[in-house]
Structure 1
Amino acid sequence: MIDSQSVKADEVVGADSRGFDGVKLINGRQRPVVVDTLGLLGVMVTAADIGDRAAAKALLARVTDAHHRVEHVWADGGCTGSLVEHCLAALALALAIVKPSDDMRGFVVLPKRWIVERLFAHLMRSHRLARDFELFTTSAEAMVYWSMTMIMTRRLARSRSARA
């Protein structure tokens, strides 16, 4: 599943790596992520005014280089259009758009979307990631990987009786 999250940037974040997300009305950075049911596959931190399609195009290329077995990705409505054809032609990746049905009202987590929404909830529990304090985007990406490492370590360290 691929999706992005916009977060407010601290005053130390330079104007060159921050932007204004007009949809969510946030001045800061955007974190496009690719996750599977087990955890994070890839993250890329960009200015918040970068479009979802442009960020997804670059991130999916990075993820398919690192994880050759990825064949199918689900996305929300922000990744429609030419990105679907690009993924199939250039990356040999089937990109499926998950859209709500016409009878759904309000905020509803769609099928397959719970995977990425769970990741965003875990990231927001990490106080360092609730707001972007990093000067460089590479440092901000490293903070996301660090937080996911702590989450995965906790999952692995649980006793077998707690998992059942």
Structure 2
Amino acid sequence: MLVTPASTTDRDAARLLLPAAKKRFRWLARVWADGGYTGYLTDWTTQRLGLVLDIVRRSDDVQGFQVLPRRWAVERSFAWLLRSRHLVRDYERRTDTSETVILWSMTMLMSRRLAARHQQRPAPAQAA
């Protein structure tokens, strides 16, 4: 995860994030991105990192809203995070604090889901 100032473009942030992702996940071979990542980044990613950067584009034939493949998972994750009241508004002045709040919110979300799943399981039968 990488939180940057609002003045940082998506392409510039990707040049910081993608090498770290490739280092951590050596098996990573393909990355999907939206139209904000077009341009020099696709060539840079291939040449420097050996990754294929696929730009998912909206069809020119469709007017209005169109669900883009693979994009819904990212948007859904953002929606889950925004259930955390602290993330609805940007109160933080430092990016490391923002990263911590995001990690805390996702940890709370995952913990609640795991606890709910644990409670739904039937109790194991006990030997008499």
TM-score by length of 1: 0.66
Structure 1 or 2: larger helix share? 2
Backbone CA RMSD of aligned residues: 2.1
What is the aligned partner in structure 1 of residue 113 from structure 2?
155
Count of residues paired in the alignment: 121
Map of 1:9-158 to 2, 5 A cutoff? Answer: 43-158=1-116
The CA distance in 1 between the partners of 2:38 and 2:9, in whole Å, is 12
User: What stretches of structure 1 move > 3 A for 4+ residues in a row?
Assistant: none
> 1:65: how far off?
2.1
What are the ranges of 5 or more consecutive residues in structure 2 without an aligned counterpart?
121-128
Q: Does 1 or 2 have the higher relative contact order (CA < 8 Å, sep 6+)?
A: 1
Equivalent position amino acid for 1:44 in 2: L
TM-score by length of 2: 0.82
Percent of residue pairs identical: 47
Deviations 1:77-120 (A, max 9, x none): 01011111111121221110000111222232201101110111
Structure 1 or 2: larger strand share? 1
What are the ranges of 5 or more consecutive residues in structure 1 without an aligned counterpart?
1-42
> 1:161: how far off?
9.5
